[in-house]
A and B are shown apart, each in its own frame.
Chain A
Amino acid sequence: MRGEINRHKMQFLGANMAKAARIVVVTSGKGGVGKTTTSASFATGLALSGHKTVVIDFDIGLRNLDLIMGCERRVVYDFVNVINGEATLHQALIKDKNCDNLYVLAASQTKDKEALTQDGVEKVLNELRKDFEFIVCDSPAGIEMGAFMALYFADEALVVTNPEVSSVRDSDRILGILASKAKRAVDGREKVKEHLIITRYNPERVENGDMLSLTDIQDILRIPVLGVVPESKDVLQASNTGSPVINLRGTNVSEAYFDIVARFLGEDRPLRYITAEKKGLLKRIFGGN
């Protein structure tokens, strides 16, 4: 009878927790919305800003963070091996090829989802906390074990949504789970800090009414928007070259992810890429923006 109903009661007890590593889950409910793309670029951006960061793939059986990070050939031991004591964390952490502050902990391709035990995950996270400033957890889709484990220990959550109804609804569900089932909620500590990231945003299609607008989405979810990432072919291109899209400097998507990282670290930056470009005469005379 306890649980979600009572969670709001003891929220302020955790206020004097030691300031330590922050665990950030990238989650959504729905698959294919851009969680892995966001995890890779966000973690890279944090590392490029000088913060020692590790990004963990919780998508057991369907690993692809290592592909996006371009380190798949170097995966010898994975997250599950560490949990099972078959490898040390040191052996399993893969250092990013471009960035000194960045490490990847890959998911297992062979093991089943049940391999992620709560105790096992906690042990690994606690060990990582000692060495890293940010621990980014790339959640699988759905609301089952893997997704639950990815969010359970989170201090902050990046909720990734596409501008369509089903994706927004799923994000709403995930927000409910974060607020009731995450460890912070269960322990009655201050709740998981929520951030909204809207990806694959296409301002033209929004203006045509084919997609939900930023305001529609905000109206449904009512959490602060950390950033809007435009729909772009550059994402596919980046994944083909095995480098997080944030590294495609100068592209809109890369800029959008740099903005997201900066806002996450406390900087105030206006939202960009949310209105359709006017393709009129003026644009042709004065060039792009």
Chain B
Amino acid sequence: MMSSNSIKLNSANFDYYILRVTPSTELEQIASKLATLREFDATGKYLVLECGAKPDMSQFTSYLRKIDDIAAKFALEVKFIAANQFISADQIDGRAVINLPATLQSKPILNQTLLIEEPVRSGIRIENDGDIIVTSLVSHNAEIIASGNIHVYGDCRGRVLAGNGGNKKAKIFVARFNAELISIAGIYRVIEDKLPDNLHNKAVQIFLDEKERLNIIPLAV
């Protein structure tokens, strides 16, 4: 699960370093990155936190405080949060949300696949900047949101949103299709009625065609 590019420090020319985190960033990874940083540069004092995916706001402050504790060990302070498509507040936990100069903004990290090997239960939302693979069940009312492709190898009864953030080439692959909602690049369809027999509970793939219509077709094997 440890992915080398799930954390990234952009050393700016100023007093600030940009710390990019994604849902799979481990706190220990942050500590080791900061340690490495300090080995070659001891001048900066501040961190700008950049989120590579939409954070769970109810837990964000506590997450931030944990980063604070780590940063403090390296004489750093998380002073700002970078504004981007995932962060729109004016301030978070007393820290201003700032626009980074274009040259300093990170490119979205794609193809960082998140593998989920347990059932995704009702009420749970899983998001990833990259692909998501679910090896078992996605329950009614569960939500899978990926900026890339989504693969579900069990029953899929919840909501699956691929290409989140605008990737129209993203696809959804499902082994047993019975989803409540599907979406690619924001183009969505709510599935209220039972689908035809060749699709209902069958293996399907879902994609956008040239006219940006959602297509659900049997997965030829």
Contacts and interface: CB of A to CB of B under 8 A. Distances in A.
Indicate, yes or no, whether A interacts with B: yes
Interface string A35-52: 000000000000000000
B140 A222 contact: no
A2 B114 contact: no
**How many interface residues does chain B have, given as a range?**
35 or more
B122 A222 contact: no
A176 interface: yes
B23 A176 contact: no
B56 A3 contact: yes
B1 A1 contact: no
A156 interface: no
A173 interface: yes
A39 B114 CA distance: 38
B32 to A, nearest CB: 16
B205 interface: no
A173 B140 CA distance: 10
B59 A169 contact: no
A220 interface: yes
A1 B60 contact: yes
Q: Choose among A175, A176, A180, A220 the residue with the greatest number of B CB atoms under 10 Å from its CB.
A: A176
A175 to B, nearest CB: 5
B63 interface: yes
Contacts of A175: 119, 121
Interface in A191-245: 191, 219-220, 222
Interface stretch (B72-80, B123-131, B208-216): B123-131
Given A176-B122, A179-B121, A6 B24 contact: yes
B126 A172 contact: no
A222 B137 contact: yes
A8 to B, nearest CB: 6
Contact of A173 (B1, B53, B114, B123): B123
Contacts of B22: 1
A227 to B, nearest CB: 21
Contacts of B142: 176
Contact of A180 (B24, B25, B51, B124): B124
Nearest to A170: B122
Nearest to B141: A169
A123 B74 CA distance: 35
A179 B139 CA distance: 14
B164 to A, nearest CB: 14
Contact of B51 (A1, A191, A222): A1
Interface string A178-192: 011000000000010
A59 to B, nearest CB: 22
Contacts of A112: none
B25 A1 contact: yes
Given A169-B140, A176-B123, A180-B124, A2 B118 contact: no
A143 B60 CA distance: 21
B114 A179 contact: no
A179 B59 contact: no
Interface of B: 1, 21-27, 51, 53, 55-56, 59-60, 63, 114, 116-124, 126-128, 136-137, 139-142, 155
9 contacts: A1-B55, A1-B60, A1-B63, A2-B23, A2-B63, A8-B116, A173-B123, A176-B142, A179-B119
